[in-house]
Amino acid sequence: MDVELKENERIDDLQRNGYRIIQNPKKFCFGMDAVLLSGFARVKPGARVLDLGTGTGIIPILLEAKTQAAHLTALEIQEESADMARRSVLLNGLSDKIDIVTGDIREADGLFAAAGFDVVTCNPPYMIGQHGLINPDAPKAIARHEIMCTLEDVVRTASKLLKPGGSFFMVHRPFRLAEIITVMEQYKLEPKRMQLVYPYVDKEPNMVLIEGCRGGRSRMTVEKPLIIFKAPDVYMDEIKELYGY
């Protein structure tokens, strides 16, 4: 289906089911963290999924391609990004499977029924005020820094909207791991599974993938490390598979 492209927008091939996505490189494009999260998340057939802070809709589109979810809903506060996400959904003929909702994560419990989802995913802003330089471009700044929501906002909202026993999946930065686990436990999202992501085998990890279970018992599995590159610009085979190469 043909859709309108606006100034500076382009269509990128996602290498999955022939799906494509509309992006504006002058604003914000999805990164590897979103792809890794879509591969880490476990979605059972028939599940209802919510993606918090979806940006241009990359995670629900990839999860629709990779899983048998019954329906996926995505929440995004920036109308420009939400509009691109809606047009990408339309472009891929997925309007009956994916809903894009414009709204604030902090007010999501007023938009959706409590305990209404089996799975909640989130690729949140990683940086708090004192971490790094804040991008002067608003869309990029909101995506990267805790301007519109905090880690606690994300976890609290996920806990409210998940069914008992439902799963929360998030990608974040290892330097905040102690805080992540503390906040998840505070809101009864028991950490159950974790994987550290390394750019190279001899480098420190720069991402962490984590799963929590609403009301779960205390026991966490730490999966084998995920290595991105075996040489500069050469992906490991596992990463190629995630990208569909």
What's the pLDDT score for residue 135?
45
State the residue for tokens 């880690």: 151
Please state the CATH superfamily assignment of the domain spanning residues 10-190 in this structure: Vaccinia Virus protein VP39 (3.40.50.150)
Assess whether pLDDT exceeds 70 at residue 146: no
Beta-strand (E) ranges in the chain?
Answer: 10-13, 20-23, 48-52, 71-76, 98-102, 117-122, 162-172, 189-198, 207-214, 221-222, 226-227, 229-231, 234-235
Instruction: Determine contact, residues 61/67, Cβ cutoff 8 Å.
Output: no
What's the pLDDT score for residue 221?
97
Assess whether pLDDT exceeds 50 at residue 210: yes
* Tokens (6 digits) for 193: 């599974």
Assess whether pLDDT exceeds 50 at residue 29: yes
What's the pLDDT score for residue 128?
67
pTM over 0.75, yes/no: yes
What's the pLDDT score for residue 220?
96
Assess whether pLDDT exceeds 80 at residue 126: no
* Tokens (6 digits) for 11: 């269509």
C-alpha 242, offset from chain centre: 15
pLDDT digit string, tens, across residues 6-24: 999 999 999 999 999 999 9
Assess whether pLDDT exceeds 80 at residue 134: no
* Tokens (6 digits) for 155: 């976890």
Question: How far is the C-alpha of 187 from the C-alpha of 198, rounded, in Å?
Answer: 28
Domain ranges of the chain: 10-190
Question: How far is the C-alpha of 163 from the C-alpha of 155, rounded, in Å?
Answer: 14
The residue among 228 and 245 whose pLDDT is bigger is: 228
